Amino acid sequence: MKLLVTGGAGFIGSHFIRHLLAKYPDYQIINLDKLTYAGNLKNCEDYANSPNYRFVQGDIADKKLVDELAAEANVIVNIAAETHVDNSIEGPAVFLETNVMGTQNLLEAAKNHAHGRFVQVSTDEVYGDRLDGSFTEIDMLSPSSPYSASKAAGDLLCLAYKRTYGTPVLISRCSNNYGTHQYPEKLIPFFIKKLLAGEKVPLYGDGSNVRDWLHVTDHCKAIDLILHKGKIGKTYNVSSNEEHSNLEITKRLLELLNLPEDRIEFVKDRPGHDLRYSVDASKIKSELGWVPEVKFEDGFAEMVEWYKNNQK
């Protein structure tokens, strides 16, 4: 298999490539990454010299480059995305450029070069929030932020390409990932960085917003299964059933770092802040045999230690 993996210098992308190289030593992998603020080649240092791996700096919004690289591959896994909700509220345009037009460029290239599979790595945020129960793959999309709206648009483009052109798309929608190598803008690494710097952490509202937390290595194994065994045209939710409020997560961090709760500073809530995300992962479990393997307590503690030892 010859794969074009986009966003491979980012958090999830670098872990996914690491997983592929370890499990499939005969695969050829091209890593296309723009190296925005959230991409870092240090994430790829341990496999940078692998003979079947190549890095290309570039933008999925660059149609000519995407087509040239797609000509060398037979599979695309699209992990590249603008993802930070706060940034999308401040400046939505770049989210549309990358998450919508960039995805369309990749789909067009996959169509033109008759690729065998196209995996769109998406998010549970496209469903919006709900106070009880969990979303299934057939539920209506109701995104709340420019970020999640742009990801929903990308997903719908994928399904449209499947229907219109027969492009062999698959979609994964995961819950919040945690683990090593994540850029410190998302809640957990951002809070760890501030706490280690002796600062208080700004917690939106009363901290009652709930997220499901999925270890990044479990997510990579799910993408692997979807890539190899998923049914073309289908969507798979990926979650670990580890739901915790943002306040619970913050208190857990304080406990692991032996810090008092007065390091929490409650701040004005974010506009349109989703209350709770929850997706039902029964489909990927029953159809593809996926199960999360990393215990939350173990993965969380390991992650905190990594950030303690890898502060800039």
Query: Which tokens sit at 69?
Result: 């690289």
Q: Phi/psi at 143 (nearest 5 deg)?
A: -65, 150
CA distances from 161 to 5, 105, 148, 191 (A): 19, 12, 20, 40
Would you call 248 a catalytic residue per the annotation? no
Catalytic residue among 125, 129, 212, 242: 125
Helix (H/G/I), strand (E/B), else coil: 34: coil
Whether 305 is catalytic is no
For residues 81 and 153, the answer to whether their CB atoms sit within 8 Å is no
Residue whose entry in the numeric block shows the structure tokens 């619970």: 248
Q: What is the C-alpha to C-alpha distance for residues 279 and 290, in angstroms, rounded to an integer? A: 15
Measured distance between the N- and C-terminal CA atoms of the chain, rounded to whole angstroms: 37
Active-site position among 53, 127, 147, 307: 147
Active site residue 125: yes
Distance set, CA 180 to CA 21, 173, 192, 304 (Å): 18, 20, 12, 8
Q: Dihedrals φ, ψ of 31, to 5°?
A: -105, 110
| Per annotation, catalytic residue among 59, 82, 108, 124 | 124
Cα distance between residue 278 and residue 210, in whole Å: 9
Sheet holding 53-57, edge to edge: 53-57, 28-33, 2-6, 75-78, 117-123, 169-174, 235-238
Radius of gyration of the chain (CA): 19
Closest residue by Cα to residue 217 from 290, 310, 125? 290
Read off the tokens for 288: 């593809």
Q: What does residue 40 show for φ and ψ, rounded to 5 degrees? A: -150, 120
Tokens linked to 39:
């991409």
Query: So which residues are the catalytic ones?
Result: 124-125, 147
